Homo-oligomer: A and B are copies of this chain.
Amino acid sequence: MLIERGATKGLTIWEDAEAMIAKARRDDVPIIWDRLNAQRPACSFCKTGLTCKKCVMGPCRIKADGKRNRGVCGADADLTVARNFGRFVAAGSASHSDHGRDLLETLAAIGEGKTTDYAIRDEAKLARICEEVGIATAGLDVRAQAAALADKLHTDFGTRGKGLSFLARVPKARRELWEKLGITPRGIDREVVEMMHRTHMGVDSDAVSLCLHAARTALSDGWGGSMIATELSDIIFGTPTPRQATVNLGVLKADQVNILVHGHSPIVSEMIVAAAKDEELLAKAKAAGAAGINLAGLCCTGNEVLMRKGIPMAGNHLMTELAIITGAADCMVVDYQCIMPSLVRVASCYQTRFVSTSDKAHFTGATHVEFNYANAKEQAKKVVALAIEAFTKRDPHKVEIPGTPVGMLTGFSNEAILGALGGTPAPLLDAIKSGAVRGAAAIVGCNNPRLKHDYCHVNLAKELIKRDVLVLITGCATVAMGKAGLLVPEAADLAGPGLSGVCKALGIPPVLHVGSCVDNSRIIQLCAVLANALGVDISALPVAASAPEWYSEKAAAIGLYAVASGVATHLGIPPHITGSEAVTKLALSGLEDVVGAHFWVEPDPFKAAQLMDARISQKRLALGLSK
């Protein structure tokens, strides 16, 4: 649901958020909705993708039907939009992939014996992935396997053009289609760099050509950078298994030192989790008057430690400022991505110590504690000590912790899902064939203040499960579904009779939490497993995806790799492409003929559910199944 310009009410569906928005007003702390109102109306050229500032002959603003119908270089509306969109997707792919690289470098450090702070927690998965990518593990110890796998995956980031290791997972028909279209990703970094090259003035000057390369760039994320990030996170920190946890701002504790972990990578947060259990630090916290040290997650770093450790979740994107406004957050420790620069200012209004940890993500005004392989455990202890110190400065009169934590079940990695099914997808396929489970949908991604907070997430999920569609979620959707009570087995009662029965038989919720936003790679991998088992292309499956409240370039990359992999994808609002009829048409329908899937744009979750449902019906009929 779109938020009207100037609106100061009805911004969220949650009481905990409403309470903190009200407290922000009382505390006179500007928050994201205030900045959105100040920025409205937005520039219509920028919003529709029609500005170009890629050289100093300009900047230019294109108006398809006016005297400004071409930029100084001669680019028209289609080209301008396509170039901008290309960079938008490239930035998203780059982000996931550079995150994957960090995991890869950690794996290499383990292999080379350069770290004792990090180790291999899932040796069986390490061996399995080694064998999958062609490394014979016989005679190799764990460290040697780690080193060999790091070597192999490093070539995926390189440029020798031999293709990505995990492309073998893709159904043959899909790989052949990509080959035919010339969009098989060659190297993870290469596609991003080539997109930056193509979008320089006077390089790729055809909108369709740029859009195809945008698809290739996105695929290098989905089947490359993101997939590497997921698989290596599992190997290093453990493959998630189902576990209980809790969610909403109520997970903060008035009598404890509260540390929020925020960002996207498990590399720092796992160390914070360990340091928070340190006896010496616990004693220090008690000496400071705290009953203990309480950790809570935000965004995808939160998802990472939720999936593997059951650390409670304080909130999603639009809750990150509000978590500080409770007055109970003694430290926010961040790695990178989706960390609003405003958080430093919000933190400065309270005792909250804002700590950055990565050289690639400094925040003006923050305390920087750089983490690396060799010092991570020690640095994590320093951060916890800073949090304890901040706790001593907390003003109890400023503390208000709204809400009561809601329970949820998390940890549904593909290994966990297939494990629960007895090691094969056959029972799931049988349920799909019988119509008990009519299909599956992914609901992923962000919040966006232009949309009523979590309204689309929750309503879309409810509508889909009602229609016997199994829902898989990642990222910020997690918190929404958790708070709505959809991540517990009892939520099966909200599902249609078929799905409800399956969930009850297995003791699982109708909405499964599969991870962080890089973990959308788990979902496309699962699609590939199902398609391969059925002997069809991914585009033939009764599945769909949605990023109903997306905001980021990463989400655009995810959406595009989903579509390019054959999964039709819903977006709550469009990217900045509507200034080009050609690019918009390609996205909304034309891609169907090219890659067998396309985008929908629809802010209303009820209508979106109908679109996704119709798609699933259509795919079921095409497979010879009931509607």
Contacts and interface: CB of A to CB of B under 8 A. Distances in A.
Interface stretch (A189-197, A412-420, A492-500): A189-197
A46 B32 contact: no
Interface string A238-275: 00000000000000000000000001000000000000
A187 B104 CA distance: 15
A46 B57 contact: no
A340 B242 CA distance: 56
B204 A35 contact: no
A553 B55 contact: yes
Interface in A132-152: none
Interface residues of A, number: 104
A359 B99 CA distance: 29
A280 B213 CA distance: 38
Interface in A65-81: 67-68, 70-76, 78-79
A39 B60 contact: yes
Interface in A43-69: 43, 45-47, 49, 51, 53-61, 67-68
B364 A207 contact: yes
Contacts of A105: 161
A226 B358 CA distance: 29
A199 B46 CA distance: 18
B194 A192 contact: no
A84 B42 contact: no
Contacts of A79: 341, 364
Q: In this complex, which of A57, A90, A553 has the most chain B Cβ atoms within 10 angstroms of its Cβ?
A: A57
Contacts of A337: 197, 200-203
Contacts of A189: 157, 159, 187, 189-190, 192-193
A159 B101 CA distance: 8
Contact of A552 (B194, B200, B204): B200
Given A42-B60, A364-B205, A200 B554 contact: yes
Nearest to A66: B38
A338 interface: yes
Contacts of A154: 158-160
Copies in the complex: 2
A60 B336 CA distance: 21
A146 to B, nearest CB: 15
A342 B51 contact: no
A328 interface: no
Contacts of A59: 42-43, 46-47, 576
A56 B42 CA distance: 11
A179 to B, nearest CB: 14
A23 interface: no
A310 B626 CA distance: 72
Contacts of A74: 32, 35, 340-343, 345
Nearest to A87: B87
B360 A71 contact: no
Interface in A571-606: 573-576
A116 interface: no
A51 B43 contact: yes
B73 A61 contact: no
A135 B469 CA distance: 60
A338 B205 CA distance: 11
A351 interface: no
A56 B213 contact: no
A38 B51 CA distance: 14
A361 interface: yes
A510 to B, nearest CB: 29
Nearest to A49: B53
A56 B575 contact: yes
A344 B161 CA distance: 32
B58 A53 contact: no
Give 9 closest A-B pairs by Cβ, nearest first. A74-B342, A94-B196, A46-B59, A189-B189, A158-B158, A206-B362, A202-B339, A98-B197, A209-B362
Given A42-B61, A205-B341, 14 more contacts: A32-B72, A35-B74, A56-B552, A74-B345, A79-B341, A97-B193, A105-B161, A157-B159, A158-B159, A189-B189, A202-B336, A203-B337, A204-B361, A204-B362
21 contacts: A35-B71, A35-B72, A39-B71, A43-B51, A54-B553, A56-B550, A57-B450, A73-B340, A76-B341, A90-B196, A91-B197, A198-B360, A200-B337, A202-B263, A202-B336, A202-B337, A203-B337, A204-B360, A204-B362, A205-B361, A208-B362
